[in-house]
Chain A
Amino acid sequence: GENVEQHPSTLSVQEGDSAVIKCTYSDSASNYFPWYKQELGKRPQLIIDIRSNVGEKKDQRIAVTLNKTAKHFSLHITETQPEDSAVYFCAASIDNQGGKLIFGQGTELSVKP
């Protein structure tokens, strides 16, 4: 089955700097890749997603890139702010498996003021 690896597990940046989180997936049939932000004790919140027919997507300070050949995708956060501090999860989904998401291990992002 699908396996998603996420790095780094923790990331500390200074406010205003950029943060990059990377994920790789194993199943080339995966075609939907969402990113979630989860604050302590709260539900995951979708922040951006990308489909396999697109190489890059941007939404204000957040962008995601996808390399289908290498089977990896990355989250880029620019101009980080303290409120960006949270755990970020990548996930992958395969069209013919009913939409179930396989999550990466998570990255704890800390933005220091």
Chain B
Amino acid sequence: GAVVSQHPSRVICKSGTSVKIECRSLDFQATTMFWYRQFPKQSLMLMATSNEGSKATYEQGVEKDKFLINHASLTLSTLTVTSAHPEDSSFYICSASPLGTSHWEAQYFGPGTRLLVL
């Protein structure tokens, strides 16, 4: 149980285009999902906290107009990288916490999406 999927697994796009990444909790409901970005050989940097039915909370330094987050249901959160540029190329990973648990429960991570902007 507690499986999180992401789609697509990898995407290559041209500079200036927008890319949407989906994060789904397959066998549980999640009121909260988190989006991380990981550059090669670096740590996971939290970008934002996605809450179902409300606006996302962005970490300091993350542009909310560039990284649009929509948590439309208890099983789906999407991250849209708008007007992507080469410096946005990275590994984007989401995680989810099951509904009804406190933060004590471990977060379940998706497999990640590798974005390459040419």
Evaluate contact between A106 and B43: CB separation under 8 angstroms: yes
B93 touches A44 (CB 8 A): yes
Contacting residues, chain B, for A49 (C-beta < 8 A):
106
- Assembled-state Cα–Cα distance A21/B10 (Å): 31
- When each residue 85-113 of chain A gets 1 if its CB lies under 8 Å from chain B and 0 otherwise, what string results? 00001000101001111111110000000
> Could you count the A-B residue pairs with CB atoms below 8 Å apart for me: how many are there?
56
Interface centre among B43, B51, B110 (most CB of A within 10 A): B43
A105: chain B residues within 8 A (beta carbon)? 42-43
The answer to the question of B74 belonging to the interface, with a C-beta cut-off of 8 Å to chain A, is no
Closest to A96 in B: B103
Q: CA–CA, A100 to B112, complex, Å?
A: 18
Count chain B CB atoms within 10 A of each CB in A44, A99, A104 and give the residue with the most: A99
Determine whether the beta carbon of B109 is less than 8 Å from that of A106: no
CB distance from B35 to the nearest CB of A (A): 11
Contact A103 B44 (CB under 8 A): yes
Interface size on B, residues (CB 8 A): 25
Interface residues of B in 55-113 (CB under 8 A from A): 57, 60, 91, 93, 95, 97, 102-104, 106-107, 109-112
Residues from chain A with Cβ under 8 Å of B107 in the complex:
46, 99, 101
Query: Within the assembled complex, what's the spacing in Å between the Cα atoms of A46 and B111?
Result: 13
Interface residue A61 (Cβ < 8 Å from any Cβ of B): no
Q: Which residue of A lies closest to B111 (CB)?
A: A43
CB distance from B71 to the nearest CB of A (A): 13
Contact between chains at B32 and A89 (CB < 8 Å): no
- Which B residues are CB-close (under 8 A) to A46? 106-107
Whether A34 pairs with B106 at a CB distance below 8 angstroms is yes
B46, CB-defined interface residue at 8 Å: yes
B46 and A101 within 8 A (CB): yes
B25 at the interface (CB under 8 A from A): no
Given A44-B93, A44-B109, the answer on whether A100 and B104 have CB atoms closer than 8 Å is: no
Closest to B93 in A: A43
Instruction: Please determine whether A103 and B111 come into contact, CB atoms closer than 8 angstroms.
Output: no
C-alpha gap A95/B102 in the complex (Å): 9
